[in-house]
Amino acid sequence: MGRRKKGQPVSGWINLDKPVGIGSTKALSRVRKFLDAQKAGHAGTLDPLASGILPIALGEATKVIPFIQDAAKTYAFTIKWGEATDTDDTEGNIIKTSPNRPKEQDILKALPDFTGEITQIPPKYSAIKIDGQRAYDLARSGADIEMKSRQVVINQLELLEARRDAADFRVNCGKGTYVRSLARDIAEKLGTYGHIIALRRESVGYFTLQSAISLEILENMDHSAALKEILQPLQAPLDDIPALPLKETEVAKLRNGQSLSFVSKGDFARLPKTSANDPVVAMYNGTAVALVEIEGPAIHPFRVFNQ
């Protein structure tokens, strides 16, 4: 007989506004404990010094975390000019200084160079793996590591306010972008040094600050009220994925991993128009049953939800 899992089979999303001062893993643990969930995961790490959107998946929602991690993200951040740190933020030690302070017109002129597909070198203090070890662990041990450059996409970058010693920005970027690296590179382009002193994630795909809840408010809610009012359904962040409505007789087959064949004209008309290999979410009575791929009249499940 298998061991009974601890907690309740809660499935869905909590759009958490993570506070400064705790890491993503700690925030995840507190949400999971409060909701007494059997299983939980988050879609995108935030450093302790950063605040903002941390999508937390519970139960079956953990199966779609990769789709959320790939979504575009928006950050508001502040660069302090004149100092470089070994972590590219305030947690590190100052390693270089410069008396130069960029003017607003020079900042605005430089921003187009950091828009579109750009190359950046991730910070040494990051979660990237090098020979099976996290870069930050190697950096803390004093190892001399070389971070490889990578291509990332910056959809939009704007200057919000410029002051003598600091400036505020907002960026919308693709997967894998390090805002700390962006800040470092902008400063160097402007003939000085710089590092992040404030970072707030404002959105992760579907999840935005407008619908987020703070950890403090969540933990002070009634447990049942939180599940009813705050927990978002598994399919909520999949709103940009085409949906396939199912009949009751089709649900069990997909949940058992079986393919469906829509050969009749009426059934075939239900199929959404998609490109090859595009995911489709199969739905029954407002509940996500599976993610499927459509190949002609055939529907193949590749991720099944047991909820």
* Token reading at 5: 């899992």
Q: Which residue type does 161 have?
A: E
Round to whole Å and give the CA distance between 261 and 267.
9
* Token reading at 85: 């740190």
Identify whether 86 is a catalytic site residue: no
**Residues whose CB is less than 8 angstroms from the CB of residue 248 and which lie 6 or more positions away in sequence, other chains included:** 284
* Token reading at 132: 């099976």
Ranges of H-type helices in the chain: 24-35, 65-69, 104-110, 135-140, 179-189, 215-219, 223-229, 248-255, 265-268
- The candidate with the shortest Cα–Cα distance to 114, out of 49, 161, 181, is 181
Are the beta carbons of 70 and 50 closer than 8 angstroms? no
Round to whole Å and give the CA distance between 70 and 283.
22
Please identify which of the residues 47, 88, 89, 185 carries the catalytic annotation.
Answer: 47
Round to whole Å and give the CA distance between 34 and 294.
39
Residues catalogued as catalytic: 47
